[in-house]
Amino acid sequence: MKMNTIKSENLFNEAQKYIPGGVNSPVRAFKAVGGNPVFIQRGVGSKFYDVDGNEYIDYIESWGPHLFGHNPSFIKEALLKALENGTSFGAPTKLEVDMAKLISELVPSVEMVRMVNSGTEATMSAVRAARGYTGKEKIIKFEGCYHGHADFFLIKAGSGALTFGVPTSPGVTKGNAADTLIADYNDIDSVKKIIQQNKNEAAAIIIEPIAGNMGVVPADKKFLEELRSICSEEKIVLIFDEVMTGFRVAKGGAQELYGIKPDLSTFGKIIGGGLPVGAFGGKKAIMEMIAPSGPVYQAGTLSGNPLAMAAGYAALNYIKSNPDIYKTLEERSSYLEKGIRETLSEVKKNFALNRVGSMMTLFFTEDEVNNFHSAIKSDTVLYGKFFSEMLKRGIYLAPAQFEAAFVSTAHSKEDLDKTILNFFSSIKHII
């Protein structure tokens, strides 16, 4: 089974002359799965189409933003209306106020919010706010959690279990790495030891409450409850990175599912309705440290861009007005999960399948996956073969093992049945 992808191949060859690696974000290059990327021309509902005319059922959904599928009419209408008034002003608009009020209404922990332009900008600004608020410099993050490409996030654990982090990318300084402490996900003892060894030095603990960048790995509720208690006791700002999970796993994000209030939260993806956007918000006392209210400087020329605000407000307002969305997503996602598990049982494979709401990842390991160390046991070569087989069959999954698949309200039973059927044939082909 072979698709005609000659136009994509020609475009990729051309792109590599002018764009590093031929792509504007590394995972798009298919290096983790082999082969060359297909170039997408348009999307509608649960599907998108490449420049050669091939159709795919899409499970990356622009890496999460498309909760309602591609190009839903209510978001398109909101964008066209906003476009009539102009694309950008660099001055306040009513839409920004409406958006801030709506986020605060939907997420109870958010008392004030600042709009930015990306998830990376949101997380790095939240950390800066925490440092300004506490007067402390170090932060604690968890191995396997991704918070964007700011220098102090591109850190991995050192040679010992409890050491300062070391840079994972050239261009990240040792000074940045020294201020980032690395703990083990779902291991509260690793957090306690780090805090004990760095008494009164940690400004913030930042975590994905449901990790999505080592594949989907949910935090244990007790672990998060203890994390909340420790942060309160030690006067450490607890930051939930909900760029991926915000408005995806529940109306109020992962913090609604767990019943835990962080001090700060970061958002992105769905709050832009598919346009570039980010936000961070939380306790008023911390947020009022942000300029011009306070001394912590943060700014952005296109922050609160009217097009992004219009699309984001349409998305969030649709969620508010349609409370059954998450029931629908759960029904469709659980149906897909059941079909995958039945296939794995039939071919006698006990690969780990993690799912929370409409996010899921199949790991090619038979061990339980609950942290970074168990996630990386997955057979990435086998995943690459599986990805290629599914792509040939018109199913577009994440071109990397350690990413999430997303289900949208646009995915029909027909889409899901086709996916399950091709999942079976692809698994049978590679094992």
Active-site residues, by number, are 146, 241, 269
| Burial class of residue 8 (count of CB atoms within 10 Å of its CB; 0-12, 13-18, 19+) | buried
Please give the single-letter amino acid code of residue 26: P
> Tokens at residue 250, please?
């529940």
Cα–chain-centroid distance for residue 16?
27
Q: Among residues 275, 340, 312, which one has the least CA distance to residue 59?
A: 340
- H or E element in which residue 362 lies: strand 359-363
**What is the CA angle 249-263-221, rounded to 5?**
50
Q: Could you write out the DSSP letters of every residue in 286-348?
A: HHTTBTTTSSB----TTTT-HHHHHHHHHHHHHHHH-TTHHHHHHHHHHHHHHHHHHHHHHTT
Would you call 119 helix, strand, or coil by DSSP?
helix
- DSSP annotation of 145 reads -
Q: What is the spatial distance between Cα 314 and Cα 80, in angstroms, rounded to a whole number?
A: 12
Q: What is the spatial distance between Cα 147 and Cα 145, in angstroms, rounded to a whole number?
A: 7
> What region, left, alpha or beta, does residue 282 occupy, with left being phi > 0 and alpha being psi -120 to 50 degrees?
left
Distances (CA, A) of 324 to 220, 329, 331, 408: 26, 9, 11, 13
- DSSP annotation of 81 reads H
Q: Any idea of the CA torsion for 359, 361, 362, 367, to the nearest 10 degrees?
A: -120
Main-chain phi, psi angles of 123, to 5 degrees: -70, -40
Q: What is the spatial distance between Cα 89 and Cα 69, in angstroms, rounded to a whole number?
A: 29
Q: What is the spatial distance between Cα 346 and Cα 343, in angstroms, rounded to a whole number?
A: 5
Would you call 141 helix, strand, or coil by DSSP?
strand
